[in-house]
Amino acid sequence: MNADAARIDAFDLVCALSRIADLMNPAVSEHQSRVAVIALALSLEMQRPEEETTEIGLAGLIHDIGAFSLQERLDLLSFELQEPDFHARVGYLLLHTFSPFAGIAAMIRYHHTPWRNGEGAAQAGHPIPLAAHILHLADRVEVAIDRNRYILGQTDQVCERIRTGANTSFHPDVLAAFLRLAGREYFWLDVVSHNIGLFLRKSLRKHAITMTMQELSEFAALLCLLVDFKSSFTATHSSGVAATALALARRAGFSSRDQEMMRVAAYLHDVGKLGIPSEIIEKKGPLTGEEQNIMRSHAYFTHEILGSVEGLEEITDWGALHQERLDGSGYPFHKTAEQLSDGARLMAVADIFTALTEDRPYRAGMSKEDTLRALNRLSAHRQLESKYTDILTRDFDDINAARAKAQAEAAVHYADFLRALTQA
């Protein structure tokens, strides 16, 4: 990636987000991908504009992005939802500030709005896009499919279930398009295809976008929000790591371009935690052995998610290897010093420093003396890069102040986000 821009495919970005849900549990695996296939077919059948059809497919891939816990994801697989709107509001608030996804955000905001004999055409005076109603029906069709039965043997039952929502739940034009598609075997076979990823790639990977460094930072900030807002226990952690990493990079003589790249990598370093159930992240007692193993997998998930986006290779290297140690004792790859880049070494120090100094709901941050003692011990044992622990020892107060300021600002943002949920 050059200093100014990166040619990154929108499909890769969305798939990186969608893949996170699949990591949680096999029960929710490919739900969003299947919804995307159904929504695409509906949009094409209704002859919607090409750009809108593309956005509908992308929206389908991340329509449940606002559901953070495994239980929320499982609840959404119930045909009769009890509180369908909350995760849609969360998803909208997370996505709408990222300009390339503004249209997608509007679709996601209203993807559980019932038609109600035309009342669902607008909400609070705001028109609801037809695309949202397409997404709504696509989601309910996918949920109605029994994964334990052969697809072509249950199409009549699925159609009958969807027909019960005529006029009350579903837009009549969308329902009519679905019933036309339902008579074509290929439609159902596409939905359950084992090559669903390839199918979507061929359908959607036609619209590459060039992202400036500023837009890349916006995307990183979006994922940072997703990670930090997943749990009040770590609601500002990534912001603290970003401030620390940036301060270290400046003092170590990184170029201005690489400083910005380091901040982006720090925003994304824990994105794999989105694949860890909130029930584990927020557990107040000690984790069981199995839970510890699940938690440790987050670094691998980060590497898998970021590594799937062409153009983010350097950011993946710097951000995803933050749990590795110079002596090979880290995880998940057990890389040694000669295999770890300078950026990855810096990130490991920034992550540990932030974890030690930040306040958490269940404990206060460490004192300056205890923090430096812990960092220098790890450096002496050849686990952390001494160049960066030395910088922290020398400039502790200034760097810690920058870290605390960034986390305080993130806490305000977090509170504003929670307030906005009641108004979205």
For residue 80, name the pLDDT band (cuts at 50, 70, 90). Answer: low
What average pLDDT does this structure show over 90-119?
91
Least confident segment among 169-178, 210-219, 373-382: 210-219
pLDDT of residue 84: 67
pLDDT of residue 53: 94
- Best CA proximity match to 302, nearest among 346, 266, 328, 261: 266
Main-chain phi, psi angles of 350, to 5 degrees: -60, -40
**Residue 260, Ramachandran bin (φ over 0: left; ψ between -120 and 50: alpha; else beta):** alpha
- Is residue 123 pLDDT above 80, yes or no? yes
For residue 73, name the pLDDT band (cuts at 50, 70, 90). Answer: very low
For residue 385, name the pLDDT band (cuts at 50, 70, 90). Answer: very high
What average pLDDT does this structure show over 181-209?
88
Mean pLDDT value across the chain: 88
- Is residue 108 pLDDT above 80, yes or no? yes
The residue assigned the tokens 């401030």 is: 243
- Is residue 75 pLDDT above 60, yes or no? no
Give dist(CA 37, CA 263) in Å, integer: 35
pLDDT of residue 366: 95
pLDDT of residue 310: 84
- Is residue 370 pLDDT above 70, yes or no? yes
Give dist(CA 61, CA 33) in Å, integer: 5
CB within 8 Å of 326: residues ≥ 6 apart: 336, 337, 340, 345, 382, 383, 384, 385
- Is residue 8 pLDDT above 80, yes or no? no
Give dist(CA 336, CA 420) in Å, integer: 45
- Is residue 348 pLDDT above 60, yes or no? yes
* Residue 249, both tokens: 């990079």
Give dist(CA 136, CA 117) in Å, integer: 15
- Is residue 388 pLDDT above 90, yes or no? yes
- Best CA proximity match to 230, nearest among 282, 283, 294, 296: 282
The residues that bridge with 208 in the sheet, in sequence order, are: 9
For residue 167, name the pLDDT band (cuts at 50, 70, 90). Answer: confident
pLDDT of residue 326: 98
Domains and CATH numbers, the chain: 7-206 (1.10.3210.10), 212-421 (1.10.3210.10)
- Is residue 281 pLDDT above 90, yes or no? no
Least confident segment among 25-34, 120-129, 162-171, 309-318: 25-34
pLDDT of residue 72: 52
For residue 15, name the pLDDT band (cuts at 50, 70, 90). Answer: confident
Rounded to the nearest 10 degrees, what angle do helices 130-144 and 155-163 cross at? 130
pLDDT of residue 340: 98
Give dist(CA 311, CA 6) in Å, integer: 6
pLDDT of residue 86: 81
pLDDT of residue 21: 64
pLDDT tens digits, 400-419: 999 999 999 988 888 887 78
The residues that bridge with 123 in the sheet, in sequence order, are: 126
For residue 238, name the pLDDT band (cuts at 50, 70, 90). Answer: very high
For residue 308, name the pLDDT band (cuts at 50, 70, 90). Answer: confident
3-state secondary structure the chain: CCCCEEEEEHHHHHHHHHHHHHHHCHHHCCHHHHHHHHHHHHHHHCCCCHHHHHHHHHHHHCCCCCCCCHHHHHHCCCCCCCCCCHHHHHHHHHHCCCHHHHHHHHHHHCCCCCCHHHHHHEECCEECCHHHHHHHHHHHHHHHCCCCCCHHHCHHHHHHHHHCCECCCECHHHHHHHHHHHCCHHHHHHHCCCCHHHHHHHHHCCCEEEEEHHHHHHHHHHHHHHHHCCCHHHCCHHHHHHHHHHHHHHHCCCCHHHHHHHHHHHHHCCHHHHHCCHHHHCCCCCCCHHHHHHHHCHHHHHHHHHHCCCCCHHHHHHHHCCCCCCECCCCCCCCEHHHCCHHHHHHHHHHHHHHHHCCECCECCCCHHHHHHHHHHHHHCCCCCHHHHHHHHHCHHHHHHHHHHHHHHHHHHHHHHHHHHCCC
The residues that bridge with 6 in the sheet, in sequence order, are: 211
Least confident segment among 127-141, 242-256, 404-418: 404-418
Greatest mean pLDDT among 86-90, 137-141, 268-272 lies in 137-141
Q: With beta carbons less than 8 A apart as the criterion, state whether 17 and 61 touch.
A: yes
For residue 3, name the pLDDT band (cuts at 50, 70, 90). Answer: very low
For residue 69, name the pLDDT band (cuts at 50, 70, 90). Answer: low
For residue 214, name the pLDDT band (cuts at 50, 70, 90). Answer: confident
- Is residue 70 pLDDT above 60, yes or no? no
